[in-house]
Amino acid sequence: MKTKNPAKRKKDPENVRLALLKAATKLASEQGVPAITLSLVSEEAGVTKGALFHHFENKHALIAAMADFLTERLDEEIDAAIAKDPVSYGVFTRAYVQVTLDLHSEYGKAFSSLLLSESDLSSLGGDWYGKRLKRHAKTDSDPKLEIVRYAADGAWLAAVTNYNAKMDIGKIKKRLIEMSRPT
């Protein structure tokens, strides 16, 4: 969304904020969260640094807003996967595995960088996971499904840190999804 002369653009605060969040997400995806600077974000978004400060008082506020933005995208992707799944038992777990182990999307890369770089995620986005589990208690409270979700988290971590370069994430994803089906 780069613009040649941001000073001459019509004011549209909601779209400017979204452009800033998308720019931060792109930078996090390509270079990692630690590489994000306010100057790079404003340049990528095609807005002045003053416009950025109108929306975010500092880098921490921008990162916190990006965490919320990415969590909303994660929710949308999980909800889309749930809507396509006709089997209620384990429906959240299967969607969680699918979305968590999709390591190639821009949002997935940015979220991965965020998770690996921020030491205290409790201040970013609240208890998203706990709220999702409460929402899906009827379909996903089986301890077997909890183990599948933890295995997905472990596979994700091994993949994004290149802990096991020979690991076939596609096969693991397929196995975990099969394990989440009713027996």
Please give the mean pLDDT across all residues of the chain. Answer: 89
Residue 117's domain comprises 6-179
Q: What is the pLDDT of residue 127?
A: 78
Q: Which of 49-53, 81-85, 116-120 has the lowest mean pLDDT?
A: 116-120
C-beta neighbour count of 121 within 10 angstroms: 14
Q: What is d(CA 121, CA 126) in angstroms, rounded to the nearest whole number?
A: 8
Would 146 be classed as within a structural domain?
yes
CATH number at residue 66: 1.10.357.10
Would 88 be classed as within a structural domain?
yes
Would 143 be classed as within a structural domain?
yes
pTM score: 0.82
As for how many domains the chain has, the answer is 1
Q: What is the pLDDT of residue 117?
A: 85
C-beta neighbour count of 43 within 10 angstroms: 17
Q: What is the pLDDT of residue 176?
A: 98
- 115-160 tens-digit pLDDT: 888 766 665 556 788 889 999 999 999 999 999 999 999 999 998 8
Q: Which helix (H) or strand (E) holds 16?
A: helix 13-31
Q: What is the pLDDT of residue 121?
A: 61
Would 90 be classed as within a structural domain?
yes
Would 104 be classed as within a structural domain?
yes
Would 1 be classed as within a structural domain?
no
Would 79 be classed as within a structural domain?
yes
Would 126 be classed as within a structural domain?
yes
Assign residue 55 a region (left: φ > 0; alpha: ψ between -120 and 50; beta: otherwise): alpha
